[in-house]
Structure 1
Amino acid sequence: MASSLLTNSSAMTALQTLRSISMQLSTTQNRISTGERVATASDNSAYWSIATSMRADNAALSAVSDSLGLSAATVDTEYTALTATLGSDGNSGLTKLQALLVESKTAGIDRTKIQAEITQIQQDMKNTANSATFNGVNWLSTTTATPTTVNLVSSFSRVGGTPTINTIQVTVANYSLYTSTTTGILDTPTSGVSIDNMNIGTLTDSSADQTTIDGYITQVTTAINTVSQSAANLGAIKNRISNNSDFVKSLMDSVTRGIGQLVDADMNAESTRLSALQTQQQLGVQALSIANQNSQSILSLFR
């Protein structure tokens, strides 16, 4: 090959090789520093677009998870108050009230004293319902401003560009013990008397009064069945929320893994590539240095 002062082909080749190695080295260093193989759209537009959409989905799932946590706390509050009103231990609530009414059927018993206990139970149940508030929400003691139905966000999914948000619908009237319009489970009157205001203090052993007490017992028994069913429904909703919450968290982990498979850099491979490129860079610099020495060799011919 002819030697030339104007065109150093060897140096040009070495320079091009060194430039290519430097670009690859820069790419590898960026992957190592960011931990991502696809950090920008220019790295791989298709994978970057998919990963961006999946990250948006994960953000939505995170919001669903937070909403499920809030819903779980609300339902748990209402459930706890319902079971307290029910008084499953027999020493409080509706079960105790039923027992006192049955006791009041005893001939010659002092019903005034029994009524004193009944009054305390009535007040206690109402206080329990009024206290069943979480984040300003109360399904047991409601007003006309309380929504008739509540939708609890349970899941999020997206097919193509169409998102779908599923909810668990709660009918508040099924759990209302007291309402401002006296249509709740415990304040709805039957023949002018509700569980909230029934009073046996003035009743006697007469047949008519005994029949009245029988009616009160029937009312309380019906209320026990209704509240038990309401508590069972809330228990089922609690389980559903818990299952959905576990699923959403697992789904978020799955989506995160999917994103990682698309864009994460293989650090073992990148580390190996970095060492190789650094070695190639050193050799390229050496090759360029040798190629540039050709000009000095030509110069020596003119000495």
Structure 2
Amino acid sequence: MGSSLLTNSSAMTALQTLRNVSTQLATTQNRISTGQRVSTASDNSAYWSIATSMRSDNAALSAVSDSLGLSAAMVDTEYTALNTVIGDKNSGLTKLQALLVEAKTAGIDRTKIQAEVTQIQQDMKLKSDSATINGINWLSIDITPSSSTATPTTFNLVSSYSRVGGTPTIGSITVTTATYALYTTGGSSTTGILDTVVGGSTGASVASINIGALTDSATDQTKLDGYINQVTAAINSVASAAANLGAVKNRIATNTEFVKNLMDSVDRGIGQLVDADMNAESTRLQALQTQQQLGVQALSIANQNSQSILSLFR
């Protein structure tokens, strides 16, 4: 084919090749700079869409993780307070029971024992009232009927998130307040474990037991036996509540670990879809840069061919 001033086929071929190489080089450089082979919908619409949904789910899982952290702090606060109320030989219900047994001793000064009993009763109330976190207290609750300030009967602690198709599902752990209530206010009668009156109008609650006026008479000794049984029952009830809350605490800890592992799995899945193989991309970059340099030289040579035509007119 003869030479033409209007159409330089060699230059057109070299330019087309150079343009293709430049396009590939720009794509590779973008992958290296972003670390992703699918960073926009135009790169791969299907994978980009899936990755975007997975990132959205991971954000929701992150919120669940934060919620579990708050729930764990809440449960731990109530659990600690319950254990403190149960106490040991020096405090709490355990000490109160020991004092009542001691009060059975003939001739003992029960007014002095009552002074210590009163201190324990006040301390248990203080511990229960102090078990508040984020404005929530499960041990000292308000049961005022139809009141906006009343403590909810149940609390739902967010524990999981999943999405099937376009339908999100949020899992929760339901906690019933009455299970852990030691003291209640606002109702027609008190219903907490420690403030429920036993024995009718002449009876007492654990929180109001008073043995200061009791004597060695058979009647008063029977009353002391009733108080001892009452405190023993309270210890069992509080221990049961603590055990229940301990199970909730363990469940939250297990769910927290699961959510963190699940988030890592989702991150790995997103990486499989959109992350660039940096080893492959760096190798491709070197190859494309070489091709670009050769393409520039090829175009230069093709352009020089047109200059040789001038020599025919000299």
2:240 paired with 1:232: no
2:192 corresponds, among 172, 184, 209, to 184
Paired residue type of 2:197: P
Query: Which residue in 2 is equivalent to 1:46?
Result: 46
Distance 1:292 1:103 in 2: 113
TM-score by length of 1: 0.98
C-alpha displacement at 1:299, in angstroms?
1.5
Q: Alpha-carbon deviations, 1:9-68, whole Å to 9, x = none?
A: 110000000000111011111111111100000000000000000000000000000000
Give the secondary structure class of the aligned counterpart of 2:160.
strand
2:276 corresponds, among 251, 256, 265, to 265
C-alpha displacement at 1:3, in angstroms?
1.1
C-alpha displacement at 1:256, in angstroms?
0.4
Distance 1:65 1:287 in 2: 59
Distance 1:226 1:2 in 2: 105
Query: Which residue in 1 is equivalent to 2:156?
Result: 151
Distance 2:56 2:32 in 1: 25
1:287 corresponds, among 298, 301, 305, to 298
Give the secondary structure class of the aligned counterpart of 2:172.
strand
Paired residue type of 1:262: L
TM-score by length of 2: 0.95
C-alpha displacement at 1:69, in angstroms?
0.4
Q: Alpha-carbon deviations, 1:259-301, whole Å to 9, x = none?
A: 0111011111111111110100000000001111111111111
How do 1:59-138 and structure 2 match up within 5 A? 59-87=59-87, 89-138=88-137
C-alpha displacement at 1:238, in angstroms?
0.7
Give the secondary structure class of the aligned counterpart of 1:83.
helix
Q: Alpha-carbon deviations, 1:88-119, whole Å to 9, x = none?
A: x2211001111111111111111111101100
| Identity within the alignment, % | 79
Paired residue type of 1:82: L
2:263 paired with 1:252: yes
Distance 1:95 1:294 in 2: 105
Unaligned regions of 5+ residues in structure 2, if any?
144-149
Aligned pairs, how many? 302
Give the secondary structure class of the aligned counterpart of 2:206.
coil
Distance 2:274 2:117 in 1: 68
Q: Alpha-carbon deviations, 1:152-190, whole Å to 9, x = none?
A: 000111111111111000001000000103110000101
Paired residue type of 2:237: T
Structure 1 stretches of 4+ moved >2 Å: none
2:54 paired with 1:57: no
Paired residue type of 2:252: I
Give the secondary structure class of the aligned counterpart of 1:196.
helix
